[in-house]
């Protein structure tokens, strides 16, 4: 599988992979590409571990924090010694446990890219017992990275189909859409998005959370003059006064991307990793949406272009309940527990609609810094 373009699938026997199949995968690595491959547990993501550009592609594909080092596979003690300082005690462990599940953390040589070690100066090494994983390293003739083949924060895949589902989504262009069409009645008409919170107005906080994950951002609003300071494109509602469903339709129709990740303008505690949870699964359904208890978070969801005719049908019929069209499309739900790994869902999906909620947000912002 390459970082760009259509993924190539190489069929191999997991017990006795052919040299030709392994050479084909190794050639992808030599060309600076990335290969997903089976291991003893889940699929890993290989790049040539000594090539800094290839290593960066792993971080980009996974959305992996730069503070997390990468596991590296070698095929022998000699290869381990080429990238790390190996003590006598480490040699004894290698002789006893390799190939196998044992990962040894050793001091890295200077030829190992800093991204691999995350600046720690140490390197996690293992010789895999899986014929494909070990054969890939042997065919390349140098170490390969081996983090799990999934976007950061999601479950590691155990099948090739699972890998494709994750990374076909990566190839999709995703537009972040901020809904700013409400009248702020409960705030006395004061635009909620422009209220200052923690040194920035709320909409600036929303933009910052989205910009780290999506390809571009636009705003759906009937008052574009209020948002010129953001330097973002704005669009008006195609169907004015049709509520949030109308805003979702307008943003999705205008989106340059294949998918519109849609949020409200008054959500000050969006978390980029929670946004990434949704965006990373965009290729798996027409709607990708978190569920908290019985509540679907319709204003923190990804909507694909296939939703447009079904939404428009509802709008023309005056049926404005957002979930009303869900039975016509493929819906993928993200469980509350996945969200909670990064932020309390009650905080991540919090809106500031009333003066009381604003006071609560001001109390929270200091704790979340």
pLDDT digits (tens, 9 = 90+) for 34-84: 999 999 999 999 999 999 989 988 988 888 888 999 999 999 999 999 999
| pLDDT reported for residue 187 | 64
Does residue 14 form part of some domain? no
CB 290 within 8 A of CB 278: yes
| pLDDT reported for residue 6 | 52
CA 188 to chain centre: 37
| pLDDT reported for residue 188 | 64
**75 and 112 share one domain:** yes
DSSP state of 307: G
| pLDDT reported for residue 348 | 96
Last residue of a domain, one of 145, 168, 191: 168
Ranges of residues in the chain with a pLDDT under 50 are: 1-5
HSE value, Cβ hemisphere, 13 Å, CA-based, for 26: 19
**159 and 208 share one domain:** no
Domain tally for the chain?
2
**201 and 278 share one domain:** yes
**52 and 196 share one domain:** no
- 225: burial class by Cβ within 10 Å (0-12, 13-18, 19+)? exposed
Does residue 359 form part of some domain? yes
Last residue of a domain, one of 133, 148, 168: 168
| pLDDT reported for residue 315 | 97
Token look-up 């895999």 returns: 128
**121 and 246 share one domain:** no
Does residue 251 form part of some domain? yes
Beta strand extents in 188-327 (DSSP E only):
196-197, 200-201, 216-220, 234-235, 259-264, 287-292, 295-296, 300-304
pLDDT digits (tens, 9 = 90+) for 348-367: 999 998 889 999 999 998 77
Rounded Cα–Cα distance for residues 142 and 14 (Å): 21
* Length, in residues, of the chain: 369
Ramachandran area for residue 217 (φ above 0: left; ψ -120 to 50: alpha; else beta): beta
How many other C-beta atoms lie within 10 A of the C-beta of residue 233?
Answer: 14
Does residue 163 form part of some domain? yes
> pTM score, two decimals?
0.62
Please report the DSSP string for 235-250 in residue order.
Answer: E--SSTT-HHHHHHHH
Residue 99 belongs to what domain range?
Answer: 19-168
Does residue 68 form part of some domain? yes
| pLDDT reported for residue 339 | 93
Q: At what angle do helices 202-211 and 272-279 cross, to 10 degrees?
A: 50
**308 and 360 share one domain:** yes
Last residue of a domain, one of 140, 168, 196: 168
């Amino acid at each position: 599988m390459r970082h760009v373009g259509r993924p190539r699938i190489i069929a191999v026997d997991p017990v006795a992979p052919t040299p030709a199949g392994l050479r084909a995968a190794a050639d992808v690595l030599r060309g600076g590409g990335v290969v997903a491959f089976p291991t003893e547990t889940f699929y890993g993501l290989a790049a040539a571990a000594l090539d800094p550009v290839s290593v960066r592609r792993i971080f980009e594909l996974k959305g992996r924090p730069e503070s997390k080092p990468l596991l590296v596979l070698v095929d022998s003690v000699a290869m381990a010694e080429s990238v790390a300082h190996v003590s006598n005690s480490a040699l004894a462990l290698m002789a006893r446990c390799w190939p196998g599940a044992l990962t040894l953390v050793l001091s890295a040589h200077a030829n190992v890219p800093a991204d691999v070690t995350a600046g720690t100066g140490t390197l996690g090494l293992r010789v895999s017992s899986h014929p494909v994983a070990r054969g890939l390293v042997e065919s390349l003739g140098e170490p390969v990275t081996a983090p799990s083949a999934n976007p950061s924060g999601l479950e590691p895949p155990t099948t090739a189909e699972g890998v494709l589902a994750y990374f076909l989504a990566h190839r999709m262009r995703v537009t972040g859409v901020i809904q700013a069409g409400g009248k702020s009645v409960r705030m006395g008409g004061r635009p909620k998005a422009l209220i200052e919170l923690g040194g920035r107005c709320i909409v600036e906080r929303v933009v910052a959370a989205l910009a780290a994950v999506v390809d571009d951002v636009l705003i759906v609003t009937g008052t574009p003059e209020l948002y010129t300071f953001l330097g973002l494109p704005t669009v008006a509602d195609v169907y004015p006064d049709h509520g949030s469903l109308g805003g979702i339709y307008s943003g999705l129709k205008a989106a340059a991307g294949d998918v519109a990740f849609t949020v409200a303008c008054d959500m000050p505690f969006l978390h980029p990793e929670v946004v990434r949870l949704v965006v990373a699964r965009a290729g798996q359904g027409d709607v990708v949406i978190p569920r908290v208890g019985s509540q679907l978070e319709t204003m923190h969801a990804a909507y694909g272009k296939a939703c447009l005719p079904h939404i428009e049908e509802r709008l023309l019929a005056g049926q404005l309940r957002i979930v009303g069209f869900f039975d016509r499309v493929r819906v993928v739900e993200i469980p509350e527990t996945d969200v909670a790994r990064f932020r309390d869902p009650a905080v991540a999906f919090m809106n500031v609609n009333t003066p009381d909620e604003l006071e609560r947000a001001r109390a929270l912002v200091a704790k979340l810094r």
